[in-house]
Amino acid sequence: MGRMRVLVVEDHVTLAERIAEGLRDAGMAVDVVHDGGAALESATTVTYDVIVLDRDLPVVHGDAVCRTLVASGAPTRILMLTAATEVDDRVAGLDLGADDYLGKPFAFYELVARIRALGRREPSTPPIVRVGDLSVDRARHRATRADQLLYLTRKEFGILELLASSDGRVISAEELLERVWDSTIDPFSNIVSVTMARLRRKLGEPPLIVTVTGKGYRL
């Protein structure tokens, strides 16, 4: 899973570089292109978690890029940037299938927050994930086991949600740190194992979370 991969599509070269630099500082892997044609080319060769797409692009207009990407069925999330503050334009952008929308000028921290939020949305997992007698309701942030409500902290729920929606895949401690906490946390911190121990205790018997030595955890 690794770091979040982002493609920035923006024809103003200086702005594109500024955005890319900021996102890299926020711990993301970033590629940059400056027109719609190059965007489509990049998106067919690399699977990005999020594409930051300027609407008013040369070669192929941002709207057409968005429509094509959505029609391709790729799991990539699209965040549209636009200079237009008109509500109609925003609605049009979302009608094209963009997942989110940000008007220029924008505050950089907001861009980072929106990208992170989009990257966390698992494309095809249902809102309620069931594994045995465990039920994780992602929309309501509630989890139950054998119909008993589990009283979990936000981080405990974050770990459980990630494990439940990863279909038995092994999730490393690094990935948990990156996706449940964020890039500002010390990578050598033992916070994952401490939180995991508390979560396991709350989940009760028989144990649901398996430790795969040297690799991570799975449900």
Confidence band for 128, pLDDT divided at 50, 70 and 90: confident
Confidence band for 17, pLDDT divided at 50, 70 and 90: very high
Q: Name the residue ranges covered by the structural domains of the chain.
A: 5-120, 128-218
Average of per-residue pLDDT across 41-60: 92
In this predicted structure, what is the pLDDT of residue 105?
85
Which pTM value belongs to this model?
0.56
Domain 128-218 has CATH 3.30.70.2750: no
pLDDT of 1 above 50: no
pLDDT of 126 above 70: no
- Fold match between 5-120 and 128-218? no
In this predicted structure, what is the pLDDT of residue 117?
85
Evaluated on CA atoms 91, 97, 98, 104, the torsion sign reads: negative
- Ranges 47-61, 64-78, 172-186, most confident: 47-61
Give the tens place of pLDDT for each residue, 163-173: 988 878 898 88
Reported residue count of the chain is 219
Give the tens place of pLDDT for each residue, 21-44: 999 988 888 999 999 999 999 998
Instruction: Confirm if 166 and 214 have CB atoms less than 8 A apart.
Output: no
In this predicted structure, what is the pLDDT of residue 154?
83
> What is 5-120's CATH superfamily?
Response regulator (3.40.50.2300)
In this predicted structure, what is the pLDDT of residue 51?
96
Ranges of beta strands (E only) in 65-206 are: 77-82, 100-103, 128-131, 134-137, 142-145, 148-149
pLDDT of 83 above 90: no
Instruction: Confirm if 97 and 70 have CB atoms less than 8 A apart.
Output: yes
CA–CA dist 62, 67 (Å, integer) = 9
The three-class DSSP label of residue 146 is coil
- Read out DSSP for 149-168? EP---HHHHHHHHHHHTTTT
Average of per-residue pLDDT across 178-205: 83
Instruction: Confirm if 101 and 90 have CB atoms less than 8 A apart.
Output: yes
The three-class DSSP label of residue 28 is coil
Give the tens place of pLDDT for each residue, 90-105: 556 556 778 888 888 8
Evaluated on CA atoms 180, 186, 187, 191, the torsion sign reads: negative
Average of per-residue pLDDT across 80-85: 76
CA–CA dist 159, 88 (Å, integer) = 39
